[in-house]
Amino acid sequence: MSTAGLLVAATLLLPLAMTALCVISAFRARALSLLVLAPIPALMAALWAPEGTLVFFPAPFRMTLTLDRPGALLLGGAALLWSAAGAFAAAYMAGKPRTAGFAIWWLLTLAGSLGTFVVADIASFYLVYGLVSLAAFGLIAHEQTARAQHAGTVYVVLALVGEACLLLAFVMLAAGSPEANPLIRDVVAKLPSSPMRDGIVALLILGFALKMGLVPLHVWLPLAHPAAPMPASAVLSGVVVKAGVIGLIRFLPFDSGLPGWGAVLMLVGIVTAYYGVIVGVTQLRAKTILAYSTVSQMGLLAVLLGISLGEGDPGGVNLVAYYGVHHTLVKGGLFLAVGIVAATGGARLRPVLLLTAILALSLGGLPLTSGALAKLATKPTLGYGALGMAMSVAAAGSTLLMLHFIATVAGDARGNAETVAPASEVVPWLVVALAALVVPWSLYPAVSGDPALSALQPDAIWKLVWPMALGGVAMLLLRRFRAVSGSIPEGDILVLAERCGPAVRRLGVGVEHLDAGLRRWPVAGLLLLCIAIALAGSLIAWR
Amino acid sequence: MSSISNPATLFGLCGAALVGIGLFTVIVHPGLLRRIVGFNILGAGIFLIFGAVARRGAGAGFEGDPVPQAMVITGIVVAFSATALAVAMLQRLFDLTGRATLEPPAPEGRPGSET
Amino acid sequence: MSALANAPFYVTTSGGYLLVLAIILPAVAVLAMLLVPPRHVARIAFAVMAAGLAVALVIVAELVGTGMALAYVVGGWQPPLGLALRADGLSAAMLAMTAVVICATGLFARFHQCLEPETQDGRAATTFWPLLMAIWSALNAIFVGEDLFTLYVALELLTFAAVPLVCLDGRAETIAAALRYLMFALLGSLLYLLGAALLYGVFGALDIHSLSRLDGGAPAVTVALGLMIAGLLAKAALFPLHLWLPPAHAGAPAAASAVLSALVIKAPVFLILRLVLDVAPSSAGPLAGQIFIGQILIGQILAVLGASSILFCSVMAFRQQRLKLMIAYSTVAQIGYLFIVFPLAAGTETLPAWGTIAWTGGALQLVSHALAKAAMFMAAGAVAEAFGHDRISDLGGFGRILPISALAFGLAGLSLMGLPPSGGFIAKCLLLTAAVTGGHPWLAATILAGGLLAGGYVFRIVDRALATPAVELVARRPIPRRLEAVALVLALAAVGVGFVPLQPFGFLQLGRPAVSAMVAP
Amino acid sequence: MNALLDVVLVAGLLALALHVARARDDQGAIVGFIAFGFLLGLGWVRLASIDVALTEAAIGGGVTGLLLLRVEAHTRDSSAPDRTARPITIAAAAVLCIAVTAGLAFVILNLPSPPPTQAPAAAAALDATGLENPVTAVLLAYRALDTLLEKVVLILALVGVWSLAPDHLWGGAPELRPAVVPEPLSYLARVLPPFGVLIAVYMFWVGADAPGGTFQAGTILAAMWLLVMLAGLRAAPDTRRVTLRLLLIVGPAVFLAVGFLGFAMAGGFLAYPAGAAKPIILGIEAALTLSIAVTLGMLVSGPSKRAPTS
């Protein structure tokens, strides 16, 4: 195995090995401080492993890893955030109870999350996807408050539903393949000609949209992301949702294209992009606002994916990955910022808030930031017609939402005591923030095909500024309507779904009654005779 | 179609009827002791069917096929073991609860109740 | 009869005597245990467990080595007059699984008994061992027996060993549960015996090989099979015949529950499999190119029952307030998967049932459920022992006091939910693939819904394990690590089964006719 | 004439079975069942199965009846209301049971002709065993494994019954003697046993060649022992007594030992060396008879009622 191969393999193996080492109590006690190291091989692999590296694990592990362009992009961004958030967690969680358990769930989620970017075969994808989905429960429910419990429950239910959809889709995909565990790209190549194509694609979109948080499957996200401890929120909202993105990138047939399904994805994406903003501005808690912002941003990614799928443009996924990296770093940085701001007061507050604001507005496309680059890079794809306009307005919405976020954070920090956040928290945050601002510049030429300086042209800047101005105006208007704030509960339509609770409970009670009836001796005896007669009778009838 | 006057067929049919009566007793009767007796009637019916089969298989100088006859003997022993075990459990249950039924005294149909 | 039919089918093979040992060794232990003083009983058990495990492993090795089924003609009397024993791939897998679970249970029971030295030589502790050995003997006899009447005696042996285990603690509720179990099982075995009587009346033979070759044209065969399968269903506690299982399995001591849920109910399922595949009227058989309609009809009825079992009892498991009752209902639900195999594994002209992926999936489900369920009951036993109760709502935070048990429960739950990497995942994946490719959308939906519901009830417990209760949970007594470790080892084994290849598994086809051409490499 | 007898027998059996199903009190039902057992014995004579007839009369009517009567007397003052099933249940059960009976009758009337049988094969193999009674040959030679397992079943049932004793009485003796021993019982218990033992030995001895055999003999011995214990002439032994345990397992143990010796001497498990089959089988039967007698006696006696001595 080459060095590159080893690096790719270590991406998955190091966090798993660290989890296993937690059996030793001495290691367990220090696990928290070592979290920062776990994603290092992934980072190195993303930086140095050549594209197309393939790694085969020996039997009986039936696992194949690969590194392609979008995978490497997302892997790099994710690894960076995981590492920085790990360092942040070491400081943030220190002294709190149950850190060992937190570290174990963290490592498992990390392994699964990074794994989704590199595995190449179907069974392993399901494995790592299941790992990231279920281990995240441990992070969400970690604080054990009533909110966290509720969020965890909702999350698990939906995650399991998503898993079931994907399992069925994967089985249908693999059913036509001679191999029991084929490579993803092989089965996806045959997908357009599969007789079960539409069913498979529908299930895939359903399963992955659940993870991304596309409307109306987003309900868990505004509950779950804020419920976790600060660093965990950062990775959940920054990285874990990308498991859905990489899933769609890997499993949809971008080479041949599916116009109908592309349109569906695009439509869902537009609705999600606006929906996230509209509900987000009514929210009162900073972390919840960020979560709704994630919903909105994932809608944007879905639009990009939909266009690529509709046009059969495999290059489009690189753009998606690029936008994903930008969102990973910025959103991670913002969640950490909430933690930093909460721990900062007095004179230090101002620079902290300034950096937070820059990061936040980056999501709206603030010139010179990664958001600007991401928006510019996607402009040609979105076009300049109605769709492009719609997305520009969505960017205005993002600006509005982020202004709302800044206002909320600043308001929360007003009463802070004169304190300084510890350096061990500030440094990781600065690293993420810096990376969020710098890394996209280095990737821009490769992804967009334009030199980086083209982003500084006046017309490019104008394309970015007018939506932001629009967002600013909207913010002013919003301030007038105070009734709006807090009018929609977290998880919005989930509240409607939970109205069905009593009905479900009644069904459960009904099942219990039926069970009690069936388990009475004479009833069971009669049923036994019925079954015997039915078995004998069915055969006689056939004769 | 065998003649009914043939003892094998006649006792076979008797066995069939005994199976029905035994099943009825076992299923319908709430008293555990009566159910145990019902099991024995059911078993007797089954053994009679074995006996009818054995009688039909007479040949080679034997008045019946010895294999099913031996099976009946084994079966009777097993059935007796079952009866003995059930009776002992019934007695213990009675000693502990004063009941000789599995149904609780409360009205039936309560969820979670051991009916 | 043709010349071929006159050549004996059963020929004692070189390793055939191992089959006799597998049945007889535990029976010898039962007799020896009656004679020795109580304090030596467990020693005999451990000696026999070591020997029995070795025998099971040697049988598997022999089968793999020769690639042929093991057979033994007892006393040299050829069937149908005499009796034969035979182990093909599936039987050998069952033997090995049984040996592993029995040995683990033995260790668990011993560690558990050591917790209370004053009752170690008492009634319950001493009686446990002969019952365990008798269960082992009966299971082995069922897995290798070839004569339907021998199988009847073995089934009864199994019942008479299992029933006293249920009420070993001597409480009134468990005696009531055991009595209900005994009576329903008796009803089942009498129906089975009735069917056997009719089959003998038609064929004059009861060995499976003779029956499989004879023309199943007579209506008597269908009536007989209906009675036998229904009787076995009662013993397997498939919905809606599960009245006895939840109280019996939940009331038994932990070690006993593990054996009952993991192994005892698998025996009737195994026999149904043999009846449907080997005895059910295949009239002209595969050679004439006919699909076995009789099997298909039986298969569909069984699948409907299995699917209802999965859905209904999963919901019931979710609704339970007691941990052990929840696990017991989960057993009924998981048994359902073994019955939806029948339509999925329907063979065709070129591919016999045992060459299908559904067959492999069913066998894997059987094995992985046995391991996972035993682990779960043991973990629940450790929990009940530590806190003195198993009310789920009052177990908040038990994971911090019993981390190994919680881990074992979680890993075993992984297998029940069908999540990777675990045996349950491979099994359900294969079954799902078979359902999708075979055009059974409802069964596919059932498998998925069953997985979801299992996820629900497993997560309910995992959530409790991780919870921080308002009142700190306090263990009544410390639980030794080794007790919990047994559960963990079984749970890890259930996960380890997940590493078998994702394809029809050649070993399970050994000793089945017409497989030489289609054994997957 | 014989046909008429058969019809009367069958009618009697069905009437008694219906009586058992419908009787108001358990005692009446059990008395009916005992009568049923003896009638059934006659039925087996008419089916030319004297071996089974003897077993049925001894077990079905005799020992089972005793067992049931004892438990009925014990649980008679059961205060639980005797709830009867709902009419709908009764109707459904009646319909289904009639359907099962009809199905069985259909099958029985349509059994193949000529009937398949193992009689010729059993007869042909009889010489190798040296026995005359083919049923004994089936039980102890052709299908010896079934019989062996059945003995384990019997012992296991006893283990199960014993396990029902309360913890502090475990290992003690069961109690059969009623509070007041009726004089006739006491008298019978003094007079009958010698004859019983004689009959048992005879039955065991002829079993190899004529109807009768180990199980029938064992049952009669058990009945005599029970009679003695019921009359209070001898107390039941402690269940943990080593002599008792030895007697319990000697039969199956000898059976197993012969089975294993078969590996060495006759080329297989449970195979008998040519020529020596009959004496070996007789030896097994002797040991089994003892064990069966003790097992049956203890099964009827039930779990311990007294604390173990010493």
pLDDT digits (tens, 9 = 90+) for B82-97: 999 999 999 999 988 8
pLDDT tens-digit profile of C303-346?
999 999 999 999 999 999 999 999 999 999 999 999 998 888 87
pLDDT confidence of A448, banded at 50, 70, 90? Answer: confident
How many A-B residue pairs are in contact by the CB < 8 A criterion?
29
Residue with tokens 């530590």: C386
* Higher-confidence position of A543 and D234: D234
- For the stretch C257-266, what's the b/e string if a residue is b when 16 or more beta carbons lie within 10 angstroms of its beta carbon? bbbbbbbbbb
Q: What is the mean pLDDT of chain A?
A: 87
* Chain C residues with CB-CB distance to A60 below 8 A: 499-501
Looking at chain C, the whole-number percentage of residues with pLDDT higher than 70 is 90
The predicted structure's pLDDT at residue C347? 64
Q: What is the pLDDT of residue C218?
A: 66
pLDDT at position C7: 66
Give the lowest-confidence range in A20-24, A331-335, A399-403, A539-543. A539-543
Using the predicted structure, report yes or no on whether residue C50 has a pLDDT greater than 90: yes
| CB–CB contact D154 B94 (8 Å) | no
Q: Residue A175's CB: how many other CB atoms inside 10 A?
A: 18
H helices within A343-457, ranges in order? 349-364, 370-382, 386-413, 423-448
pLDDT (0 to 100) of residue C504? 62
Q: What is the nearest CA distance from D184 to chain C, expressed in angstroms?
A: 36
Adjacent-strand bridge partners of C70: C87
Cβ-defined contact of D165 to C218 (cutoff 8 Å): no
Q: Quick check: C68 pLDDT over 60?
A: yes
How far is residue C259 from each of residues C265, C272, C375, C383, measured CA to CA in Å?
Answer: 9, 20, 10, 18
Residues 6+ apart with CB under 8 A from C49: C102, C103, C106
Task: List beta partners, residue A65.
Answer: A55, A119
Q: Give C214's pLDDT tier (boundaries 50, 70, 90).
A: low
| Contact between residue C248 and residue C181 where contact means Cβ atoms under 8 Å apart | yes
Residues A537 and A416 in one domain: no
Nearest CA in chain C to B55: C201
pLDDT tens column, C468-481: 777 788 888 888 99
Dist CA B48 CA B22 (whole Å):
13
Joined tokens for residue C339: 């019955």
Q: In this model, does residue A284 exceed pLDDT 60? A: yes
Neighbours of A513 (CB within 10 A): 14
**Chain C closest CA to D183's CA: distance in Å?**
37
Q: Are residues A494 and A507 in the same domain?
A: no
What is the per-residue pLDDT across D221-277, written as a single tens digit (0 to 9) for each? Answer: 999 999 899 888 888 888 888 999 999 999 999 999 999 988 888 788 888 888 888
D93-110 pLDDT, tens digit each: 999 999 999 999 999 998
- What is the domain range of residue A77? 3-498
Residues of chain A in contact with residue C242, where contact means CB-CB under 8 angstroms, are: 519
pLDDT at residue A15 is higher than 50: yes
The total number of structural domains that make up chain A = 2
Distance CA C392, CA C14 (A): 53
| A129 close to A212: Cβ distance less than 8 angstroms | no
Instruction: Dump pLDDT digits (tens) for C231-271.
Output: 999 999 998 899 999 999 999 999 999 999 999 999 999 99
At B36, the pLDDT band (50, 70, 90 cuts) reads very high
Q: From C504, C459, C216, C461, select the one nearest C356 (Cα to Cα).
A: C504
User: D224 to chain C nearest CA, in Å?
Assistant: 24
Is the domain of A528 the same as that of A469?
Answer: no
Q: Which two tokens stand for residue A188?
A: 């996806």
Task: Report residue C502's pLDDT band, with 50, 70 and 90 as the boundaries.
Answer: low
pTM: 0.92
* Predicted confidence (pLDDT) per residue in C106-139, tens digit: 999 999 988 888 888 888 889 999 999 999 999 9
Chain A residues within 8 A of C459 when measuring between CB atoms: 137, 156, 160
B16 has a chain C CB within 8 A of its CB: no
Inform me whether the pLDDT recorded for A148 exceeds 80.
yes
| Burial (CB count <10 Å: 0-12, 13-18, 19+), residue A438 | exposed
* Burial environment of residue A51 by CB neighbours within 10 A (0 to 12, 13 to 18, 19 or more): exposed
Cβ atoms of D250 and D291 within 8 Å: the answer is: yes
Confidence check on the interface: ipTM exceeds 0.90, yes or no:
yes
Closest CB to D116 among C131, C194, C203? C203
Of C486, C490, C326, the residue nearest C422 (C-alpha): C490
User: How many whole angstroms separate alpha carbon D169 and alpha carbon D18?
Assistant: 40
User: What is the average pLDDT value for chain C, to the nearest integer?
Assistant: 87
Q: SS3 for A54?
A: strand
pLDDT digits (tens, 9 = 90+) for D1-37: 678 888 999 999 999 999 998 888 888 899 999 999 9
Q: Which of D160, A401, C212, D86 is nearest to B88 (CA)?
A: D160
A24 — pLDDT class (breaks 50, 70, 90): confident
Cβ of D84 within 8 Å of Cβ of B15? The answer is: no
φ and ψ of D145, to 5 deg: -65, -40
Q: Looking at residue A389, what is its pLDDT?
A: 85
Between positions 277 and 296 of A, the ones with CB within 8 A of C are none
What are the structure tokens assigned to C239, written together? 């919905």
pLDDT band at B111 (very low <50, low <70, confident <90, very high): very low
Lowest mean pLDDT among A408-417, C378-387, D35-44: A408-417
D142: nearest CB among C82, C161, C204: C82
* Gap from C224 CA to chain D (nearest CA, Å): 9
More confident residue, C349 or D261: D261
B62: three-class secondary structure by DSSP: strand
Nearest CB partner across the interface for D92, out of A526, A532, A533: A526
Closest chain B residue to C204 measured between Cα atoms?
B57
A529 vs C221: which has the higher pLDDT: A529
The whole-number pLDDT of residue C348 equals 63
Statement: B7-97 belongs to CATH 1.10.287.3510: yes
HEC-encoded secondary structure of C123-168 = HHHHHHHHHHHHHHHHHHHHHHECEHHHHHHHHHHHHHHHHHHHCC
Locate the domains of chain B by residue range: 7-97
Q: Is C420 on the interface with B (CB under 8 A)?
A: no
What does the longest C-alpha to C-alpha distance in chain C come to? 79
Question: In whole angstroms, how large is the CA radius of gyration of chain B?
Answer: 19
Neighbours of B3 (CB within 10 A): 9
D101 interface with A at CB cutoff 8 Å: no
Q: Quick: pLDDT tens for A346-361.
A: 888 888 899 999 999 8
The 3-state DSSP class for residue A241 equals: coil
Please classify residue A500 by burial: count the beta carbons closer than 10 Å to its beta carbon, then call 0-12 exposed, 13-18 middle and 19+ buried. Answer: exposed
Q: What is the pLDDT of residue A541?
A: 60
Against chain D, the chains showing at least 3 CB pairs within 8 Å are: A, B, C
* C-beta of residue D240 within 8 angstroms of C-beta of residue D308: yes
CB contact under 8 A, A533 and D85: no
Q: How confident is the model at residue C3 (pLDDT cuts 50, 70, 90)?
A: very low
- D73 to chain B, any CB pair closer than 8 A? The answer is no
Would you call C190 and B71 a contact, using CB atoms and an 8 Å cutoff? no
State the chains in contact with A (3 or more Cβ–Cβ pairs under 8 Å): B, C, D
Question: What pLDDT shows up at residue B107?
Answer: 41
How confident is the model at residue D77, as a pLDDT?
63
Q: What is the pLDDT of residue C521?
A: 29
Q: From CA C384, how far away is CA C372, in angstroms rounded?
A: 18
State the pLDDT at residue C382: 94
Nearest to B70 by CA among A261, C206, C507, C516: C206
Mean pLDDT for the stretch of residues C226-233: 94
| pLDDT at res. C359 | 85
Least confidently predicted of A451-465, C423-437, C479-493 = A451-465
CB atoms within 10 A of CB C516: 11
pLDDT-based confidence at C519, cuts 50/70/90? very low
Residue A412 shares a structural domain with residue A525:
no
